[in-house]
Structure 1
Amino acid sequence: MMNETIQANSQVLLHFSILLEDGSAAESTKVHNKPAKFVMGDGSLTPSFEKCLLGLSAGDKQKFTLQPEDAFGQPNPDNIYHMDRTKFSADAPAEVGAILAFTNPDGSEIPGIVREVAGDSVTVDFNHPLAGQVVTFDVEILEVSAAS
């Protein structure tokens, strides 16, 4: 069997961890030992993450450090909203640091982080929790195959 390298349309099975600058893992497939499977270009990963994987093959382990622009972007001030405290409940408390799911007009859900509570005004940040962070993408390629 030929050991395929990752191409623009490969199907890839890998373990990955996204590490913050302090070394803590923001996300890791190893926690539940459930490797991620996706097809390059399907939108699961950002183009910069995908670029890191090109040319790797099964058995390879690599670490890539990405600047915010290449990872989750810089925080966008337009993604920070001030909401009325009455919109919150015991199930979704207006507490600083709480990550809550909000429903978009189209019915999809988006996570928001409560940044500030002042009187009846609650500041909610809808930027990706890792926006503005330098991250290390630590991968272990388990399997590479041609996308069917």
Structure 2
Amino acid sequence: MYSTKSLLCHMEIMLEDGSTADSTKASGKPARLNIGDNSLSPAFEAELEALKEGDKHKFTLQAVDAFGESNPDAIHYLDKTRFPADLKLEEGVIVSFAGPGGSEIPGIVREVAGDSVTVDLNHPLAGHNITFDIEVTQVL
């Protein structure tokens, strides 16, 4: 076990097709990545451990080491009556559910068939191999 440290870094997250899923550069606010507190996968931490201020590093992680595999148990089939009447239910719409301790869990509508709505509570990037392009701005 090593001590924890944090990296402030600009990060671009890209999918297999090269499209950008997220980028801190758009907001101009770097992300804080905490190493050693178990918030990141061991494979992700291994890519970050040796980085210093000013370093740039690009790497790809398999789905299991990035945002996890898609879990079929996180796909739910719900009746339309469980949603607000004014909510336009269609494929791709993100809906929010109450989670433990008052947290919110986002779900993506995958299909609407009659009165049945298929909602996927997996992380939107689950099941994808992800490329990270990181530039360390500060080590804390």
TM-score, normalised via structure 2 length: 0.89
Q: Which residue of 2 aligns with 1:134?
A: 129
**Aligned-residue RMSD, C-alpha:** 1.8
Conservation of the 8 A alpha-carbon contact between 2:35 and 2:49: no
Shift of 1:11: 2.3
Q: Which residue of 1 aligns with 2:92?
A: 97
Q: Which residue of 2 aligns with 1:4?
A: none
Alignment of 1:30 with 2:30, yes or no, is no
% of aligned pairs identical? 58
Gaps of at least 5 residues in structure 2 are none
Higher helix proportion (structure 1 or 2)? 2
134-143 or 29-38, which deviates more: 29-38
Q: Deviations over 1:50-87 (max 9, x none)?
A: 22101111111011111111111111110000111012
Once the two structures are superposed, the pairs formed by residues 12-51 of structure 1 within 5 Å of their partners are 12-51=7-46
Conservation of the 8 A alpha-carbon contact between 2:34 and 2:40: no
Once the two structures are superposed, the pairs formed by residues 1-148 of structure 1 within 5 Å of their partners are 8-89=3-84, 92-104=87-99, 106-145=101-140
Aligned-partner Cα distance in 2 for 1:91–1:119: 17
Instruction: Classify the secondary structure of the residue corresponding to 1:30.
Output: helix
Instruction: Classify the secondary structure of the residue corresponding to 1:18.
Output: strand
Gaps of at least 5 residues in structure 1 are 1-6
Q: Deviations over 1:12-62 (max 9, x none)?
A: 111111111111111111111100124323454333222210111111101
Evaluate the alpha carbon distance shift between residue 57 and residue 91 of structure 1 in structure 2; reply closer, same or farther with a 3 A threshold: farther
Instruction: Classify the secondary structure of the residue corresponding to 1:78.
Output: helix
Shift of 1:107: 2.2
Aligned-partner residue type, residue 81 of structure 2 = T
Aligned-partner residue type, residue 64 of structure 2 = E
> What stretches of structure 1 move > 6 A for 4+ residues in a row?
none
Aligned-partner Cα distance in 1 for 2:22–2:54: 21
Aligned-partner residue type, residue 23 of structure 1 = G
TM-score, normalised via structure 1 length: 0.85
Aligned-partner residue type, residue 66 of structure 1 = L
Shift of 1:92: 3.6
